[in-house]
Amino acid sequence: MRRRQAVIALGLAATTVMTALTGCSAGVSDGKVHLKMVESLTNPSRTAVLKKLIADFEKKNPKIKVDLISPPTDQADQKIQQMLQSGSGVDALEVRDITAGPWATNGWLYDMSKDLKGWAGWKDLTDNAAKYAKDAKGRTYYIPYGFYGLSLFYRTDLVKEAGFKKPPASWDELLNQASAIQDPGKRQYGYAFRGGTNANSNAVAVIEAYVADRIDRDNGFKLTSGKTIFSAPEALDAMKTYLKLFKKASPPSSVAWGYPEMVEGFSNGSTAFLLQDPEVIATVRQSKSIKESQWTTAPLLAGPSGKAVQPVATAGWGIAKGSKHKAEAVKLVEFLSQGDASTTFTKENSLVPILKGAGEDPFYRTGPWASYVTMTENPDTYLTAVQPRDASWWTEWVQKSDAELQKLLLGKMTPEELLAGWDAYWTKKWKSRT
């Protein structure tokens, strides 16, 4: 009896070990090339769209099968890092502008320049998309699938009731209109201020608008003189206006507001203005508190020179250097970056498109999307500047600047101290890199 139990126990232990080992090296033998693709900014509806596009790709390429891996967004980049570090298990992947730099530095991304030399899709890309598809040294680590760009969501009815004929076009006008609408007693606030996670992005947008005439468009944190934008006297004016916007025209608790609170504040009718990416259009459309006729969007706010600077953010599709099926992976990236596949992806995910022809699509010319077309068609007023999001210290910067902005809002720091600190930080970082 005892011997029998021992044999069973040993058998079970051996089976467990063997199962674990075979699980590590599972292979597929259906005669097809299996590509493993990982997405980063995962959400269920987006994954569904991606799966549909992959199915179309597989139909056109019957010898290629794509297995999509969709880790939860919060852990996705860390999971992708682990996969890339191990050198196998991933072929195509979503590369964000903030991950491209570090991953390329570590030698984890494949430079597609040679493979894409004669690619027909280049001519259809917008200038911005073509620009972001190459790094400073001309290497292509990813092709953008779309852009995230700011526009001003505003309540048409509240603006009218407050006696204004049109939405604000500059930060000063926003301060004026939002202050007029603010009425805490009625729980009506002017501006959905971003004080929590990623607060730095909106603060930088104000500063960039104020220094628009002198900004280095290849590095939005630099002036053409080579100094940081935070060192400019206009930056101080920008921060003072921004602080007034918080004190006079925003909910006091917005010190802690991140993306969800800002969008909720606008969607439930509590705030009249919101500066956000186009993906919010779909969310606000679902609101039961405000009707579609009560809101729309206006172009990004300008500084005193009448110009605005769009702090573009992007992500795209790239290939792992360790992939054994690079040719097939390039085919997949090309497929997703052109024609119907690209348009479907940008439309369904509310992204600014990468294709020139998309601006003619009625989808982008009407309603809240129209402001994006206005900005694209007026590049001298609405400038674009590359944000240094590929810097290896970008996340550190985000965390530092967010915490310091909260100190500013809580009165524990002055705008002068804040800007001096940011100027010193970037100057030191750039110096250490050279």
CA distances from 61 to 49, 235, 323 (A): 18, 53, 18
Nearer to other proteins, 293 or 434 (CB): 434
3-state secondary structure of 150: coil
Nearer to other proteins, 234 or 402 (CB): 402
Shortest Cβ distance from residue 286 to other proteins (Å)? 17
Shortest Cβ distance from residue 252 to other proteins (Å)? 5
| Cα dihedral sign, 420-425-427-428 | positive
Q: Which residues of this chain interact with other proteins, rule CB under 8 A?
A: 6, 9-10, 13, 16-17, 81, 85, 101-102, 105-107, 184, 187, 189, 195-197, 251-256, 258, 261, 264-265, 268, 270, 392-393, 395-396, 399, 402-404, 406-407, 409-410, 412
C-alpha 340/C-alpha 49 separation (Å) is: 12
Query: Could you tell me what percentage of the chain is helix, strand and coil, using 3-state DSSP and rounding each to the nearest 5?
Result: 55, 15, 30
CA distances from 184 to 248, 262, 382 (A): 10, 16, 33
Q: Which two tokens stand for residue 352?
A: 């600014």
Closest by CA to 214, choosing from 238, 198, 194, is 238
Shortest Cβ distance from residue 81 to other proteins (Å)? 6
The long-range contacts involving 258-262, CB below 8 angstroms and separated by at least 24 positions, are: 258/194, 258/196, 258/197, 258/198, 259/194, 259/197, 259/198, 261/192, 261/196, 262/192, 262/193, 262/194
CB 274 within 8 A of CB 266: yes
Shortest Cβ distance from residue 320 to other proteins (Å)? 15
366: buried, middle or exposed (CB in 10 Å: 19+, 13-18, 0-12)? exposed
Q: Which two tokens stand for residue 175?
A: 């301060």
Nearer to other proteins, 102 or 299 (CB): 102
Nearer to other proteins, 234 or 390 (CB): 390
Shortest Cβ distance from residue 165 to other proteins (Å)? 29
Write the DSSP assignment of 173-208 as a string of letters.
Answer: HHHHHHHHH-BGGGTBEEE----STTHHHHHHHHHH
Residue 358 carries which DSSP code? G
Shortest Cβ distance from residue 254 to other proteins (Å)? 7
Nearer to other proteins, 166 or 247 (CB): 247
Nearer to other proteins, 72 or 163 (CB): 72
Nearer to other proteins, 216 or 264 (CB): 264
Shortest Cβ distance from residue 308 to other proteins (Å)? 28
Shortest Cβ distance from residue 140 to other proteins (Å)? 21
Length of the chain: 434
Nearer to other proteins, 226 or 252 (CB): 252
Shortest Cβ distance from residue 25 to other proteins (Å)? 16
Q: What angle do CA 419, 421, 422 make, to 5 degrees?
A: 65
CB environment 378-406: b (16+ within 10 A), e (fewer): eeebbbbbbbbbbbeebeebbeebbebbb
Q: How far is CA 347 from the centre of its chain?
A: 15
Nearer to other proteins, 147 or 153 (CB): 153
C-alpha 229/C-alpha 207 separation (Å) is: 7
Write the DSSP assignment of 293-339 as a string of letters.
Answer: GGEEEEPPPB-TTS-EEEEEEEEEEEEBTT-S-HHHHHHHHHHHTSH
Nearer to other proteins, 168 or 269 (CB): 269
Nearer to other proteins, 122 or 430 (CB): 430
Shortest Cβ distance from residue 105 to other proteins (Å)? 5
